[in-house]
Amino acid sequence: MRSALPSIPTGAHDCDLWVAEVAALTRPDRVVWYYDTPDERAALLAQSVADGKLIKLDPNRRPGSYLARSDAGDVARVEARTFICSESEADAGPTNNWRDPQSMRTELAARFAGAMRGRTMFVVPFSMGVADSSLARYGLQVTDSAYAALSMGMMTRVSRDVRTRIDEGAHWVPTVHSVGAPLADDDTDTTWPSNTDKYIAHFPETREVWSYGSGYGGNALLAKKCFALRIASVLGRDEGWLAEHMLLVRLTSPEGRPFHIAAAFPSACGKTNLSMLQPTLPGWKVETLGDDIVWMRPGGDGRMWAINPEAGFFGVAPGTGPGTNPVATQMIERDTIFTNVALTPERDVWWEGLSPAPAELTDWQGQPWQPGAGTPAAHPNSRFTVSASACPLIADEYFSGRAVPLDAILFGGRRATTTPLVVEAYNWDHGVFMGATMASEQTAAAEGTVGRVRRDPFAMLPFCGYNMADYWEHWLTISEQLDPAQAPRIFQVNWFRRGESGDFLWPGFGDNARVLAWICRRVAGQVSASSSPVGMLPTLDDLDVEGLDLTDEARDQLLAVNGADWAAETSSIDKWFNGFDGHVPTRILEQLEQLAQRLTAVHESGAKTVAGR
- Residues assigned a catalytic role: 269
In order, the DSSP letters of 309-377 are --SEEEEE-TT-STTT-HHHHHHTTSS-EEES-EE-TTS-EE-TTTSSPPS-EE-TTS-EE-TTSSS-S
The C-alpha R_g of the chain, in whole angstroms, comes to 24
Helix (H, G, I), strand (E, B) or coil at 601: helix
- With beta carbons less than 8 A apart as the criterion, state whether 328 and 322 touch: no
Among 532, 517, 84, which residue's Cα sits nearest to residue 280? 517
Q: How far apart are CA 111 and CA 26, in angstroms?
A: 9
Q: How far apart are CA 105 and CA 203, in angstroms?
A: 10
User: What separation, in Å, do the N-terminal and C-terminal C-alpha atoms of the chain show?
Assistant: 72
- Report residue 302 CA to chain centroid gap: 27
CA triplet 126, 132, 133: central angle to 5 degrees? 95
In order, the DSSP letters of 387-414 are EGGG-TTB-THHHH---EE--EEEEE--
The DSSP bridge pattern shows strands 453-455 and 439-441 to be antiparallel
- Report residue 292 CA to chain centroid gap: 4
What letter does residue 511 receive in the DSSP assignment?
G
What letter does residue 419 receive in the DSSP assignment?
S
Q: How far apart are CA 28 and CA 178, in angstroms?
A: 11
Among 346, 351, 299, which residue's Cα sits nearest to residue 320? 351
The DSSP bridge pattern shows strands 609-610 and 453-455 to be unpaired
Range list of β-strands (E), 392-473: 404-405, 408-412, 422-424, 439-441, 453-455
Q: How far apart are CA 261 and CA 490, in angstroms?
A: 10
Among 282, 281, 314, which residue's Cα sits nearest to residue 154? 314
Task: Provide CB contacts within 8 A for 371, sequence distance 6+.
Answer: 357, 359
Instruction: List helix spans (H) across 226-296.
Output: 232-239, 271-275
Task: Provide CB contacts within 8 A for 458, sequence distance 6+.
Answer: 244, 245, 264, 411, 435, 436, 438, 464, 471, 475
- Strand partners for 492: 411, 423
Among 224, 321, 316, which residue's Cα sits nearest to residue 269? 316
Task: For residue 398, report the phi and psi dihedrals to the nearest 5 degrees.
Answer: -60, -40
